[in-house]
């Protein structure tokens, strides 16, 4: 009986996630209902068993709502921006100009889904990379579901230093030691294999897939190495720079590699484009919206920085004045003015963006509220530790380096953000590391890299990308497409952490 009572809080803390996963993979409900059911489970458990204080319960739901509202602006802004690009036929022309660099679709995909996404992750983060790149991949002829999967694969290890270093600077705050950024960049070398997963996803099921994979394998590995090494070389400047400067530096190197033919297959295959009709819009007009977007992202980050508007009362949330969603909306408006399209385009794009944003927003409200309730469940009248503490109670042991990346990835899966994952689990990792005589920076580094890898399966990012490309309720298929690469990277991280 005593054993059952001691296990009960652990089982109750884990039950909502068990129900969530069962319904997601084996049920037939929409994500909005699955997330609501999971929230009800967590709310009931926190209220009746943990006896969380009512004011903290309300504050948790409020925090969840405001976090989701931040993400809503990103979803709305991304769809608004991309609807305008469709109207001006910009996305249709990207493929033609990419062919001037390489006619090989495999190289084009790696350029967009790896290098360009890494840069966007460094400047903006929070779901922006996949929302911008997935439609560009569709413009190359890739189907929407595959475009979402490829864009999520790319939106991974750069997240360690995403949004100008937010996961470390904000996510860990004072927990972060001086060696954390460097250790994180070293563990981030696991990202070398990400372009390999992209390549395999592109060629599997195709004719002559083995040869198509092997001939491009050196280029894929080279692409992974160039970015990972560039991040290590630039990390001494601070956590704000590896994903921004590292991606810019690595892109220059890879373009030179393509130009000189380094690691580029000489054989023509089914992945070589047959050529596209020359677009009516010149290159400078085609890339203008993206130049505006990137410029505004950088200027906004530098000028506005961490400034924001705090929500009053117990809801500890700050609306950042720098929200990538606002930047996307502004870039869309500038594009409308530049192309001199009718005001009808503005209203139509706004309407479509709003319609596509509502359901993902509600899902994120439910999931974010669930996470906040679990974090704040320690504020109770029962005297119990938080649900989070019970959820991870079994990992406070000698295998902590193995568990840290997995828990970090789980946090990103649940919250959609490496930064929020770090806020959820950072104190636990630091305390456990000290208790078990592990280097704190090492454990936090493993956790943040695991969280970045977990971006592949982040539900918020999946929902945003789906909304942008116009597909619904394919979360199960998307997760199936990225889960194996995600688990392989997490497993490698854990083994490296145990060894070094």
pLDDT of amino acid 278: 62
Q: Beta partners for 309?
A: 319
For the cut 70, the answer to whether the pLDDT of residue 173 exceeds it is yes
State the pLDDT confidence band at 181, using cuts at 50, 70 and 90.
Answer: very high
Q: Mean pLDDT, to the nearest integer, of 15-32?
A: 86
For the cut 80, the answer to whether the pLDDT of residue 123 exceeds it is no
pTM over 0.75: yes
Per the prediction, the chain carries an average pLDDT of 88
Contact 297, 124 (CB under 8 A): yes
Phi first, then psi, for residue 308 (nearest 5°) are -175, -175
For the cut 60, the answer to whether the pLDDT of residue 255 exceeds it is yes
pLDDT in tens, 362-389: 988 898 898 889 989 999 999 999 898 8
- CA distance linking residue 367 with residue 364, whole number of Å: 5
For the cut 70, the answer to whether the pLDDT of residue 4 exceeds it is no
In Å, the largest CA–CA distance within the chain is 76
Rg (C-alpha) for the chain, rounded Å, is 22
pLDDT in tens, 206-249: 878 899 999 999 999 999 999 999 999 999 888 878 887 888 89
pLDDT in tens, 262-285: 999 887 565 665 555 666 678 888
Range scoring the smallest mean pLDDT among 89-93, 150-154, 371-375, 445-449: 89-93
pLDDT in tens, 434-447: 999 999 999 999 99
pLDDT of amino acid 262: 93
pLDDT of amino acid 497: 96
pLDDT of amino acid 354: 92
pLDDT in tens, 51-88: 999 999 999 999 888 888 887 888 888 889 888 988 88
- CA distance linking residue 455 with residue 422, whole number of Å: 13
∠ CA 322-465-489, nearest 5°, is 95
Q: What percent of the chain has pLDDT over 90?
A: 45
């Amino acid at each position: 009986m005593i054993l059952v009572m001691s296990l009960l809080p652990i089982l109750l803390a884990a039950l909502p996630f068990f129900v969530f996963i069962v319904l997601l993979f084996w049920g037939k409900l929409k994500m909005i209902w699955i997330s609501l059911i999971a929230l009800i489970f967590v709310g009931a458990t926190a209220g009746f068993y943990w006896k969380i204080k009512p004011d903290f319960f309300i504050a948790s739901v409020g925090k969840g709502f405001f976090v989701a509202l931040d993400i809503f602006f990103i979803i709305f802004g991304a769809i608004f921006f991309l609807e305008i690009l469709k109207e001006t036929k910009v996305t249709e022309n990207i493929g033609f100009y990419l062919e001037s660099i390489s006619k090989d679709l495999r190289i084009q995909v790696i350029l967009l889904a790896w290098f360009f996404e890494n840069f966007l992750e460094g400047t903006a983060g929070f779901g922006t990379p996949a929302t911008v790149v997935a439609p560009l991949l569709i413009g190359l002829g890739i189907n929407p579901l595959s475009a979402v999967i490829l864009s999520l694969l790319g939106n991974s290890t750069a997240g360690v230093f995403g949004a100008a270093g937010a996961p470390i600077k904000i996510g860990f705050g004072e927990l972060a030691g001086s060696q954390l950024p460097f250790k994180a960049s070293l563990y981030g070398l696991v990202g070398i294999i990400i372009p390999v997963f992209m390549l395999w996803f592109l060629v599997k099921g195709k004719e002559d897939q083995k040869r198509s994979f092997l001939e491009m394998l050196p280029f894929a590995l080279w692409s992974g190495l160039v970015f990972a090494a560039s991040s290590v070389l630039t990390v001494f400047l601070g956590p704000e720079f590896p994903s921004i400067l590292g991606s810019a530096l690595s892109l220059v190197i890879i373009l030179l590699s393509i130009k000189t033919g380094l690691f580029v297959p000489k054989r023509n295959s089914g992945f070589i484009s047959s050529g596209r009709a020359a677009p009516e819009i010149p290159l400078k007009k085609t890339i203008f919206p993206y130049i505006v977007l990137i410029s505004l992202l950088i200027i906004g980050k530098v000028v506005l920085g961490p400034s924001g508007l705090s929500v009053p009362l117990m809801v500890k949330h700050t609306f950042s004045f720098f929200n990538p969603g606002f930047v996307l909306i502004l870039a869309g408006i500038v594009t409308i003015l530049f192309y001199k399209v009718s005001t009808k385009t503005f209203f139509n794009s706004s309407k479509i963006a709003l319609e596509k944003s509502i359901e993902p927003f509600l899902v994120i409200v439910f999931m974010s509220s669930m996470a906040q309730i679990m974090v704040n469940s320690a504020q109770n009248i029962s005297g119990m530790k938080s649900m989070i503490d019970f959820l991870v109670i079994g990992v406070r042991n000698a295998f902590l380096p193995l568990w840290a990346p997995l828990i970090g990835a789980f946090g990103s899966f649940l919250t959609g953000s490496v930064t929020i994952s770090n806020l959820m689990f950072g104190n636990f990792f630091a305390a456990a590391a000290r208790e078990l005589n592990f280097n704190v920076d090492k454990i936090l580094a493993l956790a943040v890299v695991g969280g970045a890898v977990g971006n592949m399966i982040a539900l918020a990012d999946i929902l945003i990308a789906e909304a942008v490309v116009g597909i619904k309720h394919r979360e199960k298929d998307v997760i199936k497409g990225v889960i194996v690469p995600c688990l392989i990277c997490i497993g490698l991280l854990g083994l490296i952490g145990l060894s070094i």
